[in-house]
A and B are shown apart, each in its own frame.
Chain A
Amino acid sequence: MTATLLDIRKLSVDIARGRRALRVVNDVSLTVEPGEAVGLVGESGSGKSMTAFAVMNLFPSPLARVAAGQVVLNGQDLTSLPADALRRVRGAQVGMVFQDPTSYLDPLMPVGRQIAEPLRAHGRTDGIDARVLELLDLMELPQAVAVARKYPHELSGGMRQRILIAAALAMKPALLIADEPTTALDVTVQAGILKLLTKLRRELQLGILLITHDLAVVAETCQRVNVMYAGQIIEADAVGPLFKAPRHPYTQGLLASILSPASRAHSLFSIPGGVPIAGQWPSGCRFHPRCPIARPGVCDVLAPELVARGSGADRCHLGGEAVAADAWRTEARSGTRP
């Protein structure tokens, strides 16, 4: 059995706010096997992007930092590495693709040079041009030579995203982290990118950690999925079982909002209420104010643990009970919601 590619163990990320720190990622654990695509799903504010940035310890804000836990990549704990050792890992063993390809490309540099950047940064001196063209072909971009010379603003959104992916894969890393890779793209272009990611995963045995708010993307691309809410993982499972029988009320709500009207609700469904503001988490279970089956005295007091159930795990006090199997059905609500 091959070793786990990425093992995130009890990761916590803090953001400095004045003199205190806000814990936006709380005790998160997940794994990615080689050649496997794992989804990390959540709404904005759930902490999913922060988890992704924590892998490379590269946050957009200087106020964020890894507060606890370990990130083990190919057996090596990245959190204990000094700065220059970490730099050698970035781009070489793990690549990252971001949400908006426009702002993540240097506007003043031809894209070919940007793809070549990880090659140069890690000491490679010859065959660079050939490799760049090879990558552009892999990304299914026609006229590779001409494209390599162009500036980002001369390319379309979909092409720019492929450039970002090419740059991330230049050094043949085993892991690719994709933070909302299709969110900023047109729907028609999204499908192309997702197909490309699947192809790359198969051909290169590439492990992918896919962060997204869109369950449909996960369904199409991933083998396993973790659902995040308010900084915690509240459910994890293989894609099939999760979509067929989601256990946590939040997951059920998310699925209900995207499944076709014919199968579930008769009208558009959305989970009432809003995501809690970081730092103002509800007591006990963080989802309880919005939960249709929240049990007073239990869910508003005790914080639930992640419990293994069946092929996955979930974080719900009522996890094993029958009422939890379909929390949003009107009959399930016994009028005891707070």
Chain B
Amino acid sequence: MTAFILRRLLHAVPLLLAVVVLNFLLIAFTPGDPITLLVGDFPAPPEYLAQMRREYGLDQPLWVQLLRYLGKVAVGDFGFSFANQQPVAALIFDRLGATLELTLTALLFASVVGIAFGVIAARSASARRHGVADSVIQGAASAGYAVPDFWLGQILILVFAIGLGWLPSQGNAPVRGSAPGWAGWVAHLPYLVLPAFALSLRYLTLITRITRAAMLEVMGADYILAARARGASEWTVLVVHALRNAAAPVLAVIGYNVGFVLAGSALIEAVFAWPGIGRLLFESISKRDYPVMLAILLMVSATVVIANLVTDIVHRMIDPRIERA
């Protein structure tokens, strides 16, 4: 087991490195003066530009620049954002919490509900040839997958915020500021509902689809029949036997599509003015704030690589049959 973990870690490192190098190459080969890239569209005195050039080693050969970049990344120095007058790292760190809250909620919601619907659909499909619940869920999943998440966000705002007035539509806290402590936290929950739901829908449909498929395959298995022959209840059969055996591909889909949710958060945060990294990305693109954009790309890519790694390990842990590589 530990050997496997080490091997996957070793596999992940070159990937991370490649991501960083790609980032660097994007900076290096973007058309235009590289200094402009780093500074953005802001007027800066020429002496400052010259100093930046020296500091960033732009007068050095490419591979030296790459090494310096690697060094900077390793210590968490992602440069300076002129648009926001802050070091990029601090800027990102400030917004991290909001994005984590949104994406983790969406991930959790999508996983739980998606698996539940998948199980229901599979049960309906196996009990009789053309179960009603199965057809409905499959149709809804198809439709849901086609809906762009940012449009869904707008529709939700139209219906629930503007039309019905039940939920807020922008930001993650009341404009007047929130009460400290527990009350404040509860007060801000309604803000989470619409964006989290909009973000989770497409991901949810994916999970429903894979859960249904995996469950159907498992439910035809002989040991399911044997469990029933022992008098096991329907719940035991479905969850304890079938779902656990179907868990591997389901977890794989959940884990390997985390990037999906991260990408979606950029769009959702824009629609709902959620103060997270996605919104930061949106702003930095419109302001041409390149250091921030690239730092976000690096962070998101690294997160995906790590998520894949964790998924691999968990996947292996679930199935005790696969002991060796």
Contact = CB atoms under 8 A, between A and B. Distances in A.
Interface of A: 56, 58, 60, 62-63, 87-92, 95-96, 98, 100, 103-109, 117-118, 121-122, 151, 153, 164, 167-168, 170-171
Contacts of A107: 223, 245, 321
A103 B226 CA distance: 9
A121 B236 contact: yes
A103 B244 CA distance: 16
B244 A108 contact: yes
A107 B236 CA distance: 15
A88 B231 contact: yes
A317 B229 CA distance: 39
A121 B127 contact: no
A102 to B, nearest CB: 9
Nearest to B319: A108
Contacts of A105: 223, 226
A103 B222 contact: yes
B277 to A, nearest CB: 38
Contacts of B319: 108
Contacts of B226: 96, 98, 104-105, 164, 167
A96 B236 CA distance: 18
A168 B231 CA distance: 10
Closest 3 A/B residue pairs (Cβ): A91-B231, A91-B230, A103-B222
B30 interface: no
Contact of A104 (B128, B225, B320): B225
B227 A95 contact: no
B229 A96 contact: yes
B241 interface: yes
B241 A106 contact: yes
A110 B279 CA distance: 49
B126 interface: yes
B127 A90 contact: no
Q: Interface majority SS on B: helix, strand, loop or mixed?
A: helix
B188 to A, nearest CB: 41
Contacts of A122: 231
Contacts of B231: 87-92, 118, 121-122, 171
Contact of B230 (A103, A109, A118): A118
A167 B232 CA distance: 12
Task: Determine which residue in B221, B231, B232, B245 has the highest number of CB atoms from chain A within 10 A of its CB, and name it.
Answer: B231
Nearest to A117: B230
B163 to A, nearest CB: 44
Contacts of B221: 103
13 contacts: A62-B129, A90-B229, A90-B230, A98-B225, A104-B225, A106-B223, A106-B245, A109-B240, A121-B231, A121-B232, A153-B321, A164-B226, A168-B230
Contacts of A118: 230-232
Contacts of B126: 62
B245 A108 contact: yes
Interface in B171-216: none
B227 A106 contact: yes
B85 interface: no
B233 interface: yes
A95 B129 CA distance: 28
Given A62-B128, A87-B233, A100-B222, A117 B227 contact: yes
B228 interface: yes
Nearest to B220: A60
A218 B72 CA distance: 79
B245 A167 contact: no
A164 B227 CA distance: 10
Contacts of B222: 60, 98, 100, 103-104
